[in-house]
Chains A and B, each alone.
Chain A
Amino acid sequence: GALVYQYPRRTICKSGTSMRMECQAVGFQATSVAWYRQSPQKTFELIALSTVNSAIKYEQNFTQEKFPISHPNLSFSSMTVLNAYLEDRGLYLCGAYGGDRYEQYFGPGTRLTVL
């Protein structure tokens, strides 16, 4: 079956520092990966959509300078939160699409706490 792993599951960083999170698809080829942030109120914010061999599309209010993403192959993607501050707290989710299917499968998320 289609599985998506994310690590770390939890991370704490000091205000102004950066942290990198990873997403791995197993059992299917992740041609596209969407990164979301889920707030404590459970609202989903789409950060960016990354498709292999295409430019990464960032949503309004999110930039490559703040959330650089790498999607080097069909099973792996990573995102870094640069200069993290309190407003960057939340659960970061990656949703992976595979092949010609339209289902998007999510990982368990990386919970970011900023002190």
Chain B
Amino acid sequence: QQQVRQSPQSLTVWEGETAILNCSYENSAFDYFPWYQQFPGEGPALLISILSVSNKKEDGRFTIFFNKREKKLSLHIADSQPGDSATYFCAASEQQGTGSKLSFGKGAKLTVSP
């Protein structure tokens, strides 16, 4: 079954607004949560990630908010730019040394209108 769920499936925001992409998971053992950004024709690029010991991670305009109790997290993209238009994937894994396999959500397509 789908272990990582994303919502909404697609989102359109105006340039300058904050885009919010949501993610939830089933497996309580997951403790590492990366977000990937994928443009058409390219592979997914690691954007930002968080460990379950933290509840917030910031990197420039990108912020992850994490709620371990509710098994939810969200990616906030502040001051959205047209160049942020891409598909965003939430993923999760259990960190058991290197090589832990990632479970991916189905992605959220973000469109930023100028």
CA distance A105 to B46 in the complex (A): 7
Please choose the segment from A12-20, A60-68, A78-86, A93-101 that sits at the chain B interface, where 4 or more of its residues have CB less than 8 A away. A93-101
Interchain nearest-CB distance for A17 vs B (Å)? 24
Q: Report if B102 contacts A (CB, 8 A).
A: yes
Option from A34, A49, A106 in Cβ contact (under 8 Å) with B36:
A106
Contacts of A46 in B (CB 8 A): 101-102
Q: Do A102 and B43 form a contact, CB below 8 Å, given A42-B106, A49-B101, A97-B99?
A: no
Q: Report if B80 contacts A (CB, 8 A).
A: no
Interchain nearest-CB distance for A40 vs B (Å)? 12
Task: Summarize A's interface: helix, strand, loop or mixed.
Answer: strand
Q: How many A-B residue pairs have CB under 8 A?
A: 58
Contacts of B32 in A (CB 8 A): 102
Q: Report if B98 contacts A (CB, 8 A).
A: yes
Contact assessment for B99 and A51 in the assembled complex, using a CB-CB cutoff below 8 Å: yes
Chain B count of residues within 8 A CB distance of the other chain: 22
CA distance A107 to B87 in the complex (A): 16
Q: Report if A31 contacts B (CB, 8 A).
A: yes
Contact assessment for B43 and A6 in the assembled complex, using a CB-CB cutoff below 8 Å: yes
Contacts of A103 in B (CB 8 A): 34, 46, 49
Interface size class of A (residues with CB under 8 A): 20 to 34
Contacts of B45 in A (CB 8 A): 106
Residue of A nearest to B45 (CB): A106
Residue of A nearest to B109 (CB): A42
Contact assessment for A31 and B98 in the assembled complex, using a CB-CB cutoff below 8 Å: yes
Contact assessment for B99 and A31 in the assembled complex, using a CB-CB cutoff below 8 Å: yes
Q: Do A102 and B100 form a contact, CB below 8 Å, given A42-B107, A44-B89?
A: yes
Q: Report if B104 contacts A (CB, 8 A).
A: yes
Residue of B nearest to A108 (CB): B43
- Pairs A–B under 8 Å by Cβ, sample size 13: A6-B43, A31-B99, A32-B98, A42-B87, A43-B104, A43-B106, A44-B89, A49-B101, A91-B43, A93-B43, A102-B98, A104-B46, A107-B43
Top 9 closest pairs, chain A to chain B, by CB = A32-B99, A44-B104, A106-B43, A108-B43, A97-B98, A51-B99, A109-B43, A42-B107, A32-B98
